[in-house]
A and B are shown apart, each in its own frame.
Chain A
């Protein structure tokens, strides 16, 4: 469902991703780990089309389409979802209004009719409970005055409502206490249906205790330097990243 071939990308003139290749099949969960500055977040930003991230060469196929030719919103409507590391606030725009507009856009793209306001509200309330957010949050401004943990749960709620085919979680675990982490992980696990794929970007092995990956990739200096199963994460936790340099050398 996602094929990345020799992707090179730069930010502000600095090469960050170097000949990165990765193949993800439907239903798989891929964890991306690696030291600070390895390009982990860049990957999610490049795939979602964030301005400022320039692709210099390479190819990305998403469900058979040339992803890099699509506009940001087209990628989203095709089913690519990025859960932000630092979700921004949009004051005065209610969560409900924002979510309804997003879901409508996705459904329209899929040729489905708009949900009625009533049906949507019902769905949104049910979903908010799944991530332990009080439905009152739906009436508040998008992320406005939310705590760090509430923002992350709000991201997962959006993901559940939009039902993407590829979910990219960019350090969703950062700043979360253990309870919030479990809520987020449970949300993600409930969406694993054998078809939907995930890229989980994280610093810490801890998250992967709850969201068990099929593959763990180690990203260093913009390339994948090692790939393994879920045990690789444990090994990294125990040894750090330095040993990989020795191995690679």
Chain B
């Protein structure tokens, strides 16, 4: 066979969806066949395919939202490819020597060990002995506790009843444009189940799943904490990841049953584009959790990456006495745009929520906080405290605040505090007069500004987050 014939056959295969798993990437475009293809690739049960198709049909009727305070060229969804097979070892860089030196420079500044750098940069290496043993140890430990932590594609096959019971219950397929798109074509993601009364013996981190991290642009995560259980989940990594997909539309659903507690921490550092604002990831994420009686969900996020961020981790406080928390640092530099915040929906009695949002804008970036606090009629004694602080560095950036408060119960107590400040010349001068250079001074001032949020992060993450801000702000002074 000639090469040409071979490639034609491959094309036919991809169009006809009869191909074998090892091969290809789908041609651009999205229709029902593409959804069927993805589902078939993942050997999903019929109900899952139906679920995806329902989402796809809903998506076709929906319009892309335009209310966010961000600007970007129209996305042609038919020009994107919705499935690409995992890269073979042969396509990956052979060693760090083949990796973009700028990326390596960043890793070095963040102090990331060499073997982790290889994994992050997608270098084709055989699994390092160390990490294999770590993975084995954590698996054994989790199994002993009865905790399920696996790729969601695996969970759909191994624990269909659990997935079916909860998938889409917090973020329905039709929730919004991007959530519908994700529901139709999601590639993979994590599934976590913590059994009744169990305290997860370790912090669950996507880092442990580093080999499976290339889950692509439509990631789907579902975490279920059964009654009286506790879990802390860490998403992301301070290191910038190699990624060729420009559009990301992830969905994260959290279910905290009675007396359960979920702590979800994110550090997001995707490619923000270059100094002129070219390239960079569009990050349109839907994250939401539901709290049953006496349950608690805490979202903590440090966002420094992406060209555009559209993200509102939210809590539905359905059960009485449940608690929702949102602690956020969003830093934008150069031409980045972020529209981020949270929604706290108070349904149960005596529900409480806390929002601490810190926005830092530098360069020519624009950062917006958008938050909704809604107190339903039945939410007797509900309380909310919102603190929203913006810090500006330089005079070409912007910070915007869009708080929405809706209260239908007169017993509710809602507090909202907002401040906007600048890194002042006097603060900088004080630091420099004490021997600190300007960049160190700015990073110290910014870290101080974020302290309340960083203290909510797990210790190691907090230290990394501090360093990450320092690196992200490089060149923003002077």
CB distance from B316 to the nearest CB of A (A): 31
CB contacts (< 8 Å) of A61 on chain B: these are none
CB contacts (< 8 Å) of B448 on chain A: these are 90-94, 141-142
Known: A92-B449, A92-B451. A76 touches B433 (CB 8 A): yes
B430 lies within 8 A of A87 (CB): yes
Give B residues with C-beta under 8 Å from A: 424-427, 429-438, 440, 444-445, 447-452
- In the bound assembly, the distance between CA atoms of A102 and B436 in angstroms comes to 6
- In the bound assembly, the distance between CA atoms of A90 and B451 in angstroms comes to 12
B424 lies within 8 A of A88 (CB): yes
CB contacts (< 8 Å) of A68 on chain B: these are none
CB distance from A102 to the nearest CB of B (A): 4
**Contact of A90 (CB < 8 Å), options: B430, B437, B440, B450:** B430
Cross-chain pairs A/B with CB under 8 angstroms, 12 sampled:
A49-B432, A73-B438, A84-B430, A88-B424, A88-B427, A91-B448, A93-B447, A93-B448, A94-B448, A102-B435, A105-B434, A142-B448
A73 lies within 8 A of B436 (CB): yes
User: Looking across the interface, which residue of chain A has its beta carbon closest to that of B450?
Assistant: A92
- In the bound assembly, the distance between CA atoms of A40 and B248 in angstroms comes to 59
- In the bound assembly, the distance between CA atoms of A88 and B466 in angstroms comes to 23
A92 lies within 8 A of B447 (CB): yes
- Residues 44-80 of A contacting B (Cβ, < 8 Å): 48-52, 71-73, 76-77
The answer to the question of A197 belonging to the interface, with a C-beta cut-off of 8 Å to chain B, is no
CB contacts (< 8 Å) of B426 on chain A: these are 88
**A87-122 vs B, Cβ < 8 Å mask (1 yes, 0 no):** 110111110011001100110010000000000000
- In the bound assembly, the distance between CA atoms of A91 and B292 in angstroms comes to 37
The answer to the question of A158 belonging to the interface, with a C-beta cut-off of 8 Å to chain B, is yes
Known: A87-B430, A90-B430, A92-B449. A105 touches B444 (CB 8 A): no
**How many pairs of residues, A versus B, come closer than 8 Å at their CB atoms?**
72
User: Looking across the interface, which residue of chain B has its beta carbon closest to that of A97?
Assistant: B444
The answer to the question of A211 belonging to the interface, with a C-beta cut-off of 8 Å to chain B, is no
CB contacts (< 8 Å) of A101 on chain B: these are 434, 436, 440, 444
Known: A88-B424, A90-B427. A76 touches B444 (CB 8 A): no
The answer to the question of A162 belonging to the interface, with a C-beta cut-off of 8 Å to chain B, is yes
CB contacts (< 8 Å) of A98 on chain B: these are 431, 434, 444
User: Looking across the interface, which residue of chain A has its beta carbon closest to that of B445?
Assistant: A90
Give A residues with C-beta under 8 Å from B: 48-52, 71-73, 76-77, 81-82, 84, 87-88, 90-94, 97-98, 101-102, 105-106, 109, 141-142, 158, 162
- In the bound assembly, the distance between CA atoms of A111 and B424 in angstroms comes to 31
A73 lies within 8 A of B427 (CB): no
A51 lies within 8 A of B435 (CB): no
Known: A50-B429, A51-B425. A102 touches B434 (CB 8 A): yes
- In the bound assembly, the distance between CA atoms of A88 and B449 in angstroms comes to 15
CB distance from A93 to the nearest CB of B (A): 3
CB contacts (< 8 Å) of B438 on chain A: these are 73
- In the bound assembly, the distance between CA atoms of A24 and B425 in angstroms comes to 30
- In the bound assembly, the distance between CA atoms of A92 and B449 in angstroms comes to 6
B432 lies within 8 A of A72 (CB): yes
CB contacts (< 8 Å) of A51 on chain B: these are 425, 429
A77 lies within 8 A of B447 (CB): no
CB distance from B303 to the nearest CB of A (A): 19
Known: A73-B432, A98-B444. 10 other contacts (CB 8 A): A51-B429, A72-B433, A84-B430, A87-B430, A88-B427, A91-B448, A97-B444, A105-B434, A106-B435, A142-B430
User: Looking across the interface, which residue of chain B has its beta carbon closest to that of A74?
Assistant: B435
**Contact of B437 (CB < 8 Å), options: A49, A73, A92:** A73
A76 lies within 8 A of B434 (CB): yes
CB distance from A11 to the nearest CB of B (A): 14
CB distance from B211 to the nearest CB of A (A): 37
CB contacts (< 8 Å) of B435 on chain A: these are 73, 76-77, 102, 105-106, 109, 162
User: Looking across the interface, which residue of chain A has its beta carbon closest to that of B430?
Assistant: A88
Known: A51-B425, A88-B424, A88-B426. A93 touches B445 (CB 8 A): yes
User: Looking across the interface, which residue of chain B has its beta carbon closest to that of A48?
Assistant: B433
B444 lies within 8 A of A72 (CB): no
CB contacts (< 8 Å) of A93 on chain B: these are 444-445, 447-448
CB distance from B121 to the nearest CB of A (A): 32
B425, B429, B450 interface centre (most CB from chain A within 10 Å): B429
- In the bound assembly, the distance between CA atoms of A93 and B450 in angstroms comes to 10
- In the bound assembly, the distance between CA atoms of A1 and B437 in angstroms comes to 24
- In the bound assembly, the distance between CA atoms of A81 and B426 in angstroms comes to 15
**Contact of A158 (CB < 8 Å), options: B427, B434, B440, B450:** B434
User: Looking across the interface, which residue of chain B has its beta carbon closest to that of A99?
Assistant: B434
Closest 3 CB pairs of A and B: A92-B448, A93-B448, A105-B435
CB distance from B25 to the nearest CB of A (A): 47
CB contacts (< 8 Å) of B432 on chain A: these are 49, 71-73, 76
CB contacts (< 8 Å) of B436 on chain A: these are 73, 101-102, 105
- In the bound assembly, the distance between CA atoms of A90 and B452 in angstroms comes to 14
B427, B433, B436, B447 interface centre (most CB from chain A within 10 Å): B433
- In the bound assembly, the distance between CA atoms of A101 and B448 in angstroms comes to 14
